Amino acid sequence: MKALIQRVTEASVSIDGERISAIGRGLLVLLGVQAEDSETSAEKLMDKCLAYRIFSDEQGKMNRSLVDVRGELLLVSQFTLCADTGRGLRPSFSKAAAPAHAEALYEYALAHVESKLGRVAAGRFAADMQVQSVNDGPVTFMLEV
């Protein structure tokens, strides 16, 4: 399982021109589910996202987590993170989870984060989404479990 996390000042998801979710200061998390992933890997990765210290403390050092700063989280499913780009000029998605498995783990990850944070904004699984964000820093990390 992979998560591309971006520290943002704001982010939103729209579908067919309609904004379905938005956050202010916090994390935009793009989640890629691979075939071998499980509920355990979803919990580990989401816990890491919540605890990852990428927000500045009083001295300007990245030493605070999303939970520490009481930030918001927008979770968006993105199967292209699981692409194998090592060969050729066309990505292979053979490592990505089948849609039913990926959706179940995406929903599980979303529920897990909601149990920790309360309100969480989300995209819609398998939808053609337009994601807008203002990357703060810019600060972007790839997390994997």
Residues 6+ apart with CB under 8 A from 129: 13, 14, 15, 76, 123
User: Which entry of 40, 80, 130, 132 is annotated as an active-site residue?
Assistant: 80
User: Which entry of 6, 34, 55, 79 is annotated as an active-site residue?
Assistant: 79
User: Is residue 79 annotated as a catalytic residue, yes or no?
Assistant: yes
User: Which entry of 6, 34, 55, 78 is annotated as an active-site residue?
Assistant: 78
Give backbone dihedrals phi and psi of 46, rounded to 5 degrees, phi first: -65, -40
Q: What gap in Å lies between CA 93 and CA 117, rounded to an integer?
A: 32
Q: What gap in Å lies between CA 142 and CA 50, rounded to an integer?
A: 14
User: Is residue 78 annotated as a catalytic residue, yes or no?
Assistant: yes
Q: What gap in Å lies between CA 103 and CA 98, rounded to an integer?
A: 9
User: Is residue 80 annotated as a catalytic residue, yes or no?
Assistant: yes
Active site residues: 78-80
